[in-house]
Amino acid sequence: MNLKLRASQSKVQEPVEIKITGSKSESNRLLILQQQYPNLSVANLSNSDDTVHLKHALESDAQTLDIGHAGTAMRFLTAYLANQPGKKVILTGSQRMKERPIGILVDALRYLGAQIDYVEEEGYPPLQIEGKSLKGGEVTMDAGVSSQYLSALLLIGAQMENGLHLRLSGKLTSRPYLEMTTTMLTDIGLQVTFEDNHISIQPQKNIDQVEVTVESDWSSAGYWYGWVALQPAGYTVKLSAYKQISLQGDAQLARIYEKMGVKTRYGTNEITLTKSQEFEQPDGLEFDLTEQPDQAQTIFATCLGLGIDLKMTGLHTLRIKETDRIAAMEVEGARFRESEITSTSNSIHLHFPSDSPFNKTVRIDTYNDHRMALAFAPLCLKTDLIINDAGVVSKSYGDYWDDLKLVNVDITEI
């Protein structure tokens, strides 16, 4: 499905109120925990493809589980299934999933006693997993790898006979996602300590009855921060349901987007985003996104729209996402207006040699990556925009195109 987006000039009745479903990151962690602790009940689950795939896989009796593009599901299921005695499955996914490394997690699980074999290429899915009762104990992992590898182990830690003592070597990447995991474990009644680069989880097979309500997804809120940043002063959007004190590292969007003129006001389970009347556009911005790498495309598209020079670092995990996101930003960003875009293995730089106009009617590819479609869509405020394979947004925010219609974006399938 290819969509053409054109922002209507008719005035929006403000403030528009957008309801966003539960966080994908929180939902996926809670589904794994709920499978191990039936006394846990969960409300406001994400309706994203990733969460739907994970839920179906956990409920399935099939001998082959295909989780498509759902990277979180691949990592979390690898650990969960390895600790399920008597369960023997092949865990696979899309062609891109077969290109995304998983050897670091498999090595750690094997060290803890897991029986996992590679079906095709060494170090990559598909995996053949023969579940066992893992003994657990102490294991060391590189702290610079994707936090999903580490969270996958933590989510099964208390179910192992000796618990889990995870030592992290080197500089820690995406600490907020690890803190989200450990806080969730604590909140449902498990005994967890996280000190320096050592996380310890005591063995515990059961918990008391507990209900958890998932906060709405801050990553999805990011696209609305980008939308408001590109609007005239005074423009307002309300988003629900959000908390000022959040488990999600992407809640830092509120701080980041202050530099692009968006003010955040917290209410009861909602936030109000307003384009500031006092905003003075900076010549350039620089962000270290080591702890918020998923927001790189959103920030990049916003600065592209505003004409702000940008340097983003801490992006080394983006090379192995749904696509090489750094390369994708370089290619697609160059389609909009004259600019200089360069990159390294963990950074991207955006520079405007002049106040260049936008090209008329831009078409972009999405590379099977939901964030390419979601992050770049607000640029329809600057030019008519055609998004190829726009249905990819279902991975995390399936209602996005309907929500954009609420703010007077004309959307047609072509």
Question: DSSP for 98-156?
Answer: GGS--HHHHHHHHHTT-EEEESSSTTSS-EEEE------EEEEEETTS-HHHHHHHHHH
Report the DSSP beta bridge partners of residue 165.
138, 200
Q: In the chain, what is the straight-line distance between the N-terminal and C-terminal CA atoms, in Å?
A: 8
What residue has token string 């006979």? 161
Number of other residues whose CB lies within 10 A of the CB of residue 347: 19
- Whether residue 294 lies in the annotated active site: yes
Query: Distance (Å, rounded) from C-alpha 239 to C-alpha 248?
Result: 16
Question: DSSP for 282-299?
Answer: -SEEEEE-TT-GGGHHHH
- Please identify which of the residues 50, 217, 250, 294 carries the catalytic annotation: 294
> Residue 67 in 3-state DSSP?
coil
139: left (phi over 0), alpha (psi -120 to 50) or beta: beta
Query: Distance (Å, rounded) from C-alpha 41 to C-alpha 365?
Result: 39
- Residue 400: which residues within 8 A CB-CB, separation 6 or more? 220, 223, 373, 374, 377, 393
Query: Strand runs (DSSP E) across 170-234, as ranges?
Result: 192-195, 198-201, 210-213
As annotated, the active-site residues are 294
